[in-house]
Amino acid sequence: MLMLNRRELETSAPIAAQRLLGCVLDRQINGRSVKVRVVETEAYDQSDAASHSYKPRSQRTDVMFGPAGYLYVYFTYGLHYCANVVVGQNGYGAAVLIRSVEPISNFELLQHNRPTAAGYNLTNGPAKFTQALGINKELNGHDLSHYPLKLILLPPINDNEIACSPRIGISQAKDIKWRFYIRNNPYVSKVRHEKVQE
């Protein structure tokens, strides 16, 4: 099993968000390994009005300001969990939201956690992904070099496979193109029709 090289994540949030595309999350569920491929991400950092770390460091956002390679989990709209990979230098609040993933193995275990979902709808969104993998606040601050959830950094995908657009569902800094996704992947949550960056 590949070890997590945190130095690869000690970079700016937009660069890390692209680096994470194509990488694998390995989740242990009931003693079995479930692997998914990251296909869509969004970058956030403390210079960005849409980021949780834009305001002064707090108990809620403390993980975002810590070392790279840890999981930042938050509850949103009183309904859903969202999961982020902390990136950047220790002390600088930055993280990458995992928006969508593509199942690789043990699809049926993901289906068990989302029994009413079918096809791409199983994991094509940030709340769908966390529900399918059973990620909640108990994993906030989790070291992604260890089970029950490991991040496996595979070789970077080609730049021409990556598209970008403004982020989704935010009210601040709406025009910043810090959403990245793998072109033509069916598990991407939403492909906008605006021109994407080449």
pLDDT digits (tens, 9 = 90+) for 138-182: 999 999 999 999 999 999 999 999 999 999 988 889 889 999 999
Query: Which has the higher per-residue pLDDT, 118 or 80?
Result: 80
Query: Which has the higher per-residue pLDDT, 4 or 12?
Result: 12
- Answer yes or no: is pLDDT of 30 > 70: yes
pLDDT score, position 2: 61
pLDDT score, position 13: 97
pLDDT score, position 76: 83
- Answer yes or no: is pLDDT of 1 > 80: no
Give the span between the Cα atoms of 72 and 141, in whole angstroms.
6
Give the span between the Cα atoms of 69 and 144, in whole angstroms.
6
Q: For the residues 19-38, what does the mean pLDDT come to? A: 95
% of residues, the chain, pLDDT over 70: 93
pLDDT, one tens digit per residue, over 38-59 is 999 999 999 998 888 888 888 8
- Answer yes or no: is pLDDT of 198 > 80: no
pLDDT score, position 197: 42
What rounded mean pLDDT belongs to the chain?
91
Integer angstrom CA distances of residue 177 from 22, 137, 174: 19, 28, 8
Check: CB of residue 124 under 8 Å from CB of residue 100: yes
Give the span between the Cα atoms of 71 and 64, in whole angstroms.
8
- Which of 143, 167, 164, 36 has its CA nearest to residue 100? 36
pLDDT score, position 110: 92
- Answer yes or no: is pLDDT of 193 > 60: no
Predicted TM-score (pTM) of the model is 0.92
